[in-house]
Amino acid sequence: MLNLDPKQRLTTQEVLVSTFKTSKSCFLKDT
């Protein structure tokens, strides 16, 4: 496992959240 700095971890979390939001938006638009 890679040792991530707190900043990187935060960035990774933000990326995951934004990806999830984007997926949700696409899903809602698709409906």
**Would the pLDDT of 1 be above 70?**
no
**Would the pLDDT of 6 be above 70?**
no
**Would the pLDDT of 20 be above 70?**
yes
Which spans in 1-31 are helix H? 6-30
* pTM for the full predicted model: 0.48
Residue 14: exposure state from Cβ atoms within 10 A (0-12, 13-18, ≥19): exposed
**Would the pLDDT of 5 be above 80?**
no
Task: Name the pLDDT band for 4 (thresholds 50, 70, 90).
Answer: low
